[in-house]
Amino acid sequence: MYIHHKLGLGFGAIVGLTLLLTSLSWQNTQTQAKLEKNRDTVAQMQEILLEARRHEKNFLLRHDPAWLQKTQVAMEHLDLLVQEMGSKAFFNERPYWQLVHDQLHDYLEHVHQLLDLPNLTYPEQFALVESKLIPPARELHQLLKTRWNDLSSLHMDHLQRSEKTHTVLITLTILISALLVWIITRSILSSLQMGMAFAKEIASGNLRARIADIPRDEVGALLHTMQRMGSDLLLLEERDVRAQAARLALNALLESSLEPLSLQRQLEVALHIIMTVPYLRLENKGAIFLIDPEEGKLNLIASHGLSAAVVQGCAQIPLGFCLCGKTAQEGKIIHALDKDPIHSGRYEGMQPHGHYCVPILSRGTVLGVMTLYLTPDHKENAEEVAFLTSIANTLAGVLERKKMEERLQHLAHHDLLTALPNRVLFAEHLARSLVLAARDKERLAVMLVDLDHFKQVNDTLGHAAGDRVLVISTQRIRECLRASDLVARMGGDEFAVILTDLPNPEAAELVAGKIVQRVSQPIPWEEHTVRVGASIGIAFYPDHGSDSDELLSSADMAMYRIKKRGRNGFCIHDLDWSEEQAP
């Protein structure tokens, strides 16, 4: 007999006996619990019966039908308990509970008879109770006491017999188990010594261990399986090492994304992390490109190990050109060998190499391409592709986060309507400009520009027209400034301008005059032509103030003065003003 047959037979026998013993034990437990519950219920029934008998005696002594009604209520309650016990009774208890039910109904019929005949004399009531109520009540008491004890004794005898059977089966199970163990042990003992020696080799870490002569039996099959398992474990160990390296690389990439690094530095760190993964058979070269959606080109943002000529030649790649451009256009990873015709971009002195070009995707949109260099004949590997895809997905998350941070930073420091710097950014820029002007001993001008008659535009034509006026006026002010100058929206229709590195005050006056002229030009709006003006106050550093507050206050007073003069012009702050101070 084969060992697995013996094991199957033995296991089946043990399982069968165990299930049988479990079933018997469960039945005994259920029976015991039911007996305990039934015993409590019968005791409750006896109490109810005694209570009904007391009410019956009070009825005879006090001649009050209310006591007889209490007897009826108690007996009806007892009837409900009897019906419940009858519905859940053991098969040999049902006749007993039927008999109890019949005696109870006989008693209740006579109680109803007494209640239906309220005009009976006391002797008649007493005679009816003695002849009709007392006999069934005594019979009920006898049934609930003596007969129930007999039934309980039968159940207890059944439980005792079951426990004896249980003990015998347990003994039998132990004997059968011991016999099966002895037989199986003798069957496989000779082969186990060889298996133990092999297992020691495996346990010592020698996963390459082999057995010279494997016996042709079930143990031999087991040893063959163990030998194959050693080989599989060796592969799993190597795979676990690679998986751990991949996890460490991804964790390092995520941790680096939390550092306050520039985007270029972040991508350079990502390339370095990829190059340090030991199981990837990559050359120490790679690059990351990001798409410029306006120009439709890939811009080289970060590189590793590339020559200056390659960096310069690949600074911008049109979509669809060479491997990187095709990857960005198709949104799919591309693997190419050195001799692959798809590897079209070549240059003088290029050494043989292959490529992994991995798209950086975010919600189906290509953000960029990660290009890694391979040995010329490196074949595509699914594990490598999966890892590089995970890296690209992680980079997509990093890029999206960088974009979100930049957008939040922009929203925190810029006006939503005009996209100009807001009051906060203006204050920061002015503080820096003052430090530089003090260091270089240069002149700096601050101008406050207020749009004249802007409130009338809002009141007559609506806020949409007012927004249009603000946007057009912003563009016109910008056109009058240099790239190094700053214009900010301070709120409402008020703007502020910083002019740095001024050769003389006349340069600021020239800019202010241009702004007044450009802003005062008509603005078309639907069927109307809108005209606003610009009142500009100018203050110079260090002539009119040494800090931001002094310069802004001086410019504000100058603007107040030009408004009093008739608006739509500019005015330079005068330190000798006394009668024309802003409130």
Q: What is the mean pLDDT of residues 108-119?
A: 75
pLDDT value for 579:
43
The Cα–Cα gap between 136 and 320 comes to 105
Confidence band for 581, pLDDT divided at 50, 70 and 90: very low
What percentage of residues in the chain have a pLDDT greater than 70?
A: 77
Give the lowest-confidence range in 11-15, 55-59, 385-389. Answer: 11-15
pLDDT at 560: 92
Q: How deeply is 414 buried, as exposed, middle or buried, from its count of CB atoms within 10 A (0-12, 13-18, 19+)?
A: middle
Distances (CA, A) of 79 to 59, 137, 277, 410, 544: 21, 13, 83, 84, 108
pLDDT of residue 494: 93
pLDDT at res. 480: 93
Cis peptide before 135 (omega within 30 of 0): no
**Spatial separation of the C-alpha atoms in residues 328 and 545, rounded to whole Å:** 55
Arithmetic mean of pLDDT, 106-110: 77
Instruction: Give residue 177's pLDDT.
Output: 74
> What 3-state DSSP class applies to 60?
helix
* pLDDT tens readout for residues 473-528: 999 999 999 988 999 999 889 999 999 988 888 999 999 999 999 999 999 888 88
> Between vectors from CA 291 to CA 371 and to CA 322, what angle results, nearest 5°?
50
- The label of the residue with tokens 């309507």 reads 417
pLDDT band at 580 (very low <50, low <70, confident <90, very high): very low
Interatomic CA distance for residues 554 and 548, integer angstroms: 10
DSSP states along 291-331: EETTTTEEEEEEEES--HHHHHHTSEEETTSHHHHHHHHH-
**Range list of β-strands (E), 42-152:** none
- Write the Ramachandran bin of 523: left for phi over 0, alpha for psi from -120 to 50, otherwise beta: beta
Where is pLDDT greater, at 69 or 343?
A: 69
Q: What is the pLDDT of residue 260?
A: 76
- Asked if pLDDT for residue 583 goes beyond 50, the answer is no
> Residue 578 — pLDDT band, cuts 50, 70, 90?
very low
Q: How far is CA 46 from CA 69, 89, 137, 515, in A?
A: 19, 18, 11, 110
Least confident range of 220-224, 331-335, 565-569: 220-224
Confidence of residue 445 (pLDDT cuts 50, 70, 90): very high
Closest CA to 328 of 320, 336, 339: 320
Tell me the average pLDDT across 246-257: 76
Q: Assign 338 a pLDDT band (cuts: 50, 70, 90).
A: low
3-state secondary structure of 347: coil
pLDDT at residue 321, as a whole number: 81
| 231-236: average pLDDT | 68
What average pLDDT score do residues 395-412 get?
79
Domains observed in the chain:
3-176 (1.20.120.1730), 249-411 (3.30.450.40), 423-572 (3.30.70.270)
pLDDT at 475: 93
Burial 281-307 (b: 16+ CB within 10 A, else e): ebbebbbbbbbeeeeebbebbbbbebe
Q: How many CB atoms lie within 10 A of CB 230?
A: 19
For 144-192, the pLDDT digits (tens) are 666 666 666 666 666 667 667 767 777 877 787 777 777 767 666 666 6
Amino acid at the residue 226? M
Tell whether the model's pLDDT for residue 212 goes beyond 60. Answer: yes
pLDDT for residue 28 is more than 70 = no
The answer to whether 289 and 330 have CB atoms below 8 angstroms apart is no
Q: Cβ(48)–Cβ(78) under 8 Å?
A: yes
